[in-house]
Amino acid sequence: MNGDNHNNLYWHAPSITVHDRRRQSACRSCVLWFTGLSASGKSTLANALSKEFHALGVKSYVLDGDNVRHGLNKDLGFSHEDRKENIRRIGEVAKLFVDAGLIIMTAFISPYREDRDNVRALLHDGEFVEVYLKCSLETCERRDPKGIYRKAKAGQIKEFTGISAPYEEPVKPELTIETDKMTTEECLKSIFDFLVEKGYLGAELFSQEA
């Protein structure tokens, strides 16, 4: 910091860039965009990863219904237009976190391909990692941790993805995890291996865990 004249506050020190922040964060920041049916494991895997990242000193954060629908997007309902705007805003917020140097994970059903592709288009190459949590509807219905499939089948919830509204599978996701065929541990390992292989996490970081 050098002194300057107070009539000339527009002193422009070179700003900290996303590259500086990534170096400090020990990761190449990106969005891990989890998509899949309700109960396919999005929040569970995102939160478990968050814990692993934390242990490695990698800054991350999870955006989910709890912290977005009751806050930033509390003015939005469930019309087609509002759902679209919901995903758009989440994408824009995710972009800010990527710029801040974090690995940001989003845990939303995000059933429409177009909405997900719009988010992809907001980001630079390699910053959007679409993680499709593939899980049969039967398994999701059996898990049904919040009892919402039961309600949807009873007609108490309208336009429920998988029951009365479509889920459009990703065409070319960066990663597909079959959560009905693997243990949570195996799912996490697959995602970690991908992140290390693609250079989002340094191999040396990962080996600290061994």
Task: Cite the active site residues.
Answer: 110
Q: Which residue, 99 or 159, is less far from a second copy as judged by CB? A: 99
Closest CB 128 distance from a second copy, rounded Å: 15
């079959």: which residue's tokens?
Answer: 178
Stretch that binds a second copy, among 38-46, 105-113, 151-159, 196-204 (CB under 8 A): 38-46
The yes or no reply on residue 124 touching a second copy (CB under 8 A) is no
Closest CB 124 distance from a second copy, rounded Å: 13
How many residues appear in the chain? Answer: 210
Interface pattern 40-79 for a second copy (x via CB under 8 A):
-x--xx-xx-xxx-x--x-x-x-x---x---xx--x----
CA distance 168 to 109: 10
Dihedrals phi, psi of 188, to nearest 5 degrees: -60, -40
The yes or no reply on residue 134 touching a second copy (CB under 8 A) is no
CA distance 209 to 149: 38
> Which residues, other chains included, contact 24 with Cβ-Cβ below 8 Å and sequence gap of 6+?
101
The yes or no reply on residue 11 touching a second copy (CB under 8 A) is yes
Q: Which residue, 185 or 204, is less far from a second copy as judged by CB? A: 185
Angle at alpha carbon of residue 107, lines to 104 and 108, rounded to 5°: 130
Candidates 153, 176, 180, 206: give the one binding a second copy (CB under 8 A): 180
The yes or no reply on residue 4 touching a second copy (CB under 8 A) is yes
CA distance 51 to 57: 10
Of 115, 106, 109, the closest CA to residue 161 belongs to 109
- E runs forming strands in 36-165: 60-64, 103-107, 128-134
Residues lying near a second copy in the complex (CB under 8 A): 1-16, 20-21, 24-25, 39, 41, 44-45, 47-48, 50-52, 54, 57, 59, 61, 63, 67, 71-72, 75, 85, 89, 92-93, 95-97, 99-102, 122, 139, 142-143, 145, 179-185, 187-188
